[in-house]
Chains A and B, each alone.
Chain A
Amino acid sequence: MSMWGRTLQFLPKQNQREGLLPWVIGVMLFLCALSLTSALALGRGLERWSAGLTSNLSVQIVVDDPMVRKAQTEDALRLLRATPGVAEASVMADADVIALLSPWLGEIPTDTGLPLPTLIEVKLTAPDAVNIKGLGERLMATASGARLDDHQAWMTQILNLAAVVRLLLAGIVVMVVLCTVAIVIFGCRAGLATHRESIEIMHLMGAEDRTISQAFDERYLAHGLKGGLFGVLMAGLTLYILIRLADDMGQGLIQASLPAASSLAWLALLPVLSGVVTMLTARITVRRALLDLM
């Protein structure tokens, strides 16, 4: 940057106070990128996850007598397979049922004679392909021991929790952006105080407010870009490590709340956004301060 460039750069290059600004912006962008990525990934992950669950139903046949249970299971299967919108209905093996119960009951031999409910897994052609309430009533009429579970009770709680977490993350993003703007304003005011005499001289020589603020625009655009680049690189690295760790841990909510590594390309836009926000904040601060001069 020189005074012969497109912008009339009359500010000296070195300024120790401003030297810290890109680092502070970088840290804020790091937090912002992490919060924003988590909020977006959590939303998308839960959508995929809940879409998978809402296309599945479970039917329990809870009857003590094994013969009656078997007869009611067959009746329920017939009804389910004849229902439009049901893609598939199959009985879960006893071993699989015991595996589902093992976290609560421990290891159970399959031949204990424990009255286990029969579980029927139902796959729908689409999440809203079947009237769940009507199907439950018809199942009860066909097999009195049948209980239809569409997972709504517990899934609603998780989705509500996820919505609150997303809201919190969005709030963090807003706070970080506001904080960054405040830091830039403070930095800019410090810069104005440091260069007050130079600004006054420029003003007296007939420089328009726009000419003076352009020198700050250029300076703060560079600060914003540098800080943004640093913050995004750090955030990208952190997310990459988290994604690798989550992959090693398996699937579920943890993976759902992290983005796919391939979907992080949009982070590249953040330094540009950071530069523009920083530049505009500086421009508004400087122009307002210049209004104090005649």
Chain B
Amino acid sequence: MITFENVGMRYGMGTEVLRDISFSLDRGSFHFLTGPSGAGKTTLLKLLYLAHRPSRGLVNFFGRDLATLERGALPRLRRRIGVVFQDFRLFDHLTAFENVALPLRIQGAKKAQVADHVEELLSWVGLEDRMHARPATLSGGEKQRVAIARAVINKPDLLVADEPTGNVDPDMSRRLMHLFVELNKIGTTTVVATHDEDLVRMIGAPIMRLDKGELNMIAGGTPLDPEAAA
């Protein structure tokens, strides 16, 4: 579904942040992206959620070659990708409901069509009582659940999460990972960047390990938490 071949990435005239990255993500797969700080995780995630074009190499998204894709065609492709950030990046002046509804509104959905869908999803992440709260009044875990709901409201083919548990307590981390696993089970290809080795062991999914700009693929292990990984 997504293929990277010999991809390199540099910013301006600097040295390459990513070198000869090759991998493919099959539909419905789940991967962790790990590596020390400065290894290039954020850059690889930006390539995955189409914030940058690579400096070299071939990238194929959903059967489309990124090199030949016009800029005008990118928004439709981005709508097939959900992104969750460590710092949530919610719109502070909008309610949880409105934040989650944004991707549907971008697609041109009407208010009446949006309401049921958003309410259902906020209930799924356990925020049915906080729909009309603004981010400033939500806890870290609640904000991240709103961000996850926003990322998946469009039923994306690919879900990319950048340190989604970085700003929440261990119990909430476990609950959030459970959400990602649930989404993956319904067919969403998922890539979660994390430093948290315990979470990686808990799920036991394959690992994309970046070190000094180079990628190693590590097969998944036995999940320590069968309930979370089930």
In the complex, are the beta carbons of A206 and B91 less than 8 A apart?
no
* Contact yes or no, B98 A3, CB < 8 A: yes
Give the interface segment out of B9-17, B27-35, B47-55, B219-227.
B47-55
Q: Mark A248-271, 1 if CB is under 8 A from B, else 0.
A: 000000000000000000000000
Q: How far is the CB of B51 from chain A (nearest CB, A)?
A: 6
A12–B52 Cα distance when bound, in Å, is 27
The residue in chain B whose Cβ has the minimal distance to the Cβ of A198 is B91
Beta-carbon contact of B78 and A204 below 8 Å: yes
Q: Cβ of A3 and Cβ of B105 under 8 Å apart?
A: yes
| Structural contact, A201 and B89, CB atoms closer than 8 A | yes
Contact B71 A294 (CB under 8 A): yes
A205-222 near B? 1/0 per residue, CB < 8 Å: 111100100000000000
Query: Using a CB-CB cutoff of 8 Å, which residues 42-67 of chain B contact chain A?
Result: 49-53
Closest chain B CB from A196 CB (angstroms)? 12
Q: Are B79 and A206 in contact (CB under 8 A)?
A: yes
- How far is it, in angstroms, between the C-alpha of A197 and the C-alpha of B93 when the chains are bound? 13
Tell me which residues across on chain B come within 8 A of A8, comparing CB atoms.
102, 105-106
- Whether A3 contacts B106 by the Cβ 8 Å rule is no
In the complex formed, the residue of A with least CB distance to B66 is A294
- For B126, list chain A residues within 8 Å (CB): none
Our count of residue pairs bridging A and B at CB distance below 8 angstroms stands at: 59
Q: A13-B93, A197-B89, A294-B71 are in contact. Are A206 and B106 (CB under 8 A)?
A: yes
> Shortest distance in angstroms between A191's beta carbon and chain B's nearest beta carbon?
15
A104, CB-defined interface residue at 8 Å: no
B106 CB contact (under 8 Å) in A198, A202, A293: A202
B94 within 8 A of A: yes
B198 is an interface residue with CB less than 8 A from chain A? no
* CB proximity of B89 to chain A, nearest CB, Å: 5
Contacting residues of chain B (63-77) with chain A, CB-CB under 8 angstroms: 71-72, 74-77
- CA–CA, A24 and B71, complex, Å: 36
A4, CB-defined interface residue at 8 Å = yes
A201 to B94: give the CA distance in the assembly, Å.
14
Given A202-B106, A205-B102, A206-B103: A10 in contact with B91 (beta carbons within 8 A) = yes
With an 8 Å Cβ cutoff, the count of chain B residues facing the other chain is: 29
Give Cα A137–Cα B18 distance, bound, in whole angstroms.
96
- Nearest CB of chain A from residue B64's CB, rounded to whole Å: 14
Within the assembled complex, what's the spacing in Å between the Cα atoms of A194 and B71? Answer: 24
Q: Are A294 and B53 in contact (CB under 8 A)?
A: yes
Q: Is the CB of B51 within 8 A of A207?
A: no
B49, B53, B105, B154 pick with most chain A CB within 10 angstroms: B105
CB distance from A251 to the nearest CB of B (A): 59
Give bound CA distance, A200 to B46, whole Å. 12
Nearest CB in chain A: distance from B206 CB, A = 25
Q: How far is the CB of A199 from chain B (nearest CB, A)?
A: 11
Q: A294 near B74 (CB under 8 angstroms)?
A: yes
Given A3-B98, A4-B111, A205-B89 contact (CB < 8 Å):
no
Supplied contacts A4-B111, A201-B91, A204-B49, 18 more A-B pairs, CB within 8 Å: A3-B94, A3-B98, A4-B105, A10-B94, A12-B93, A13-B93, A197-B89, A202-B102, A202-B106, A204-B50, A205-B83, A205-B106, A205-B150, A206-B75, A206-B76, A206-B154, A294-B50, A294-B71
Write 24 A-B pairs (CB below 8 A) sorted by A numbering. Answer: A3-B94, A3-B102, A4-B105, A4-B111, A10-B102, A12-B91, A198-B91, A200-B51, A202-B102, A203-B78, A204-B50, A204-B83, A205-B79, A205-B106, A206-B76, A206-B77, A206-B79, A206-B103, A207-B75, A207-B106, A291-B71, A294-B51, A294-B71, A294-B74
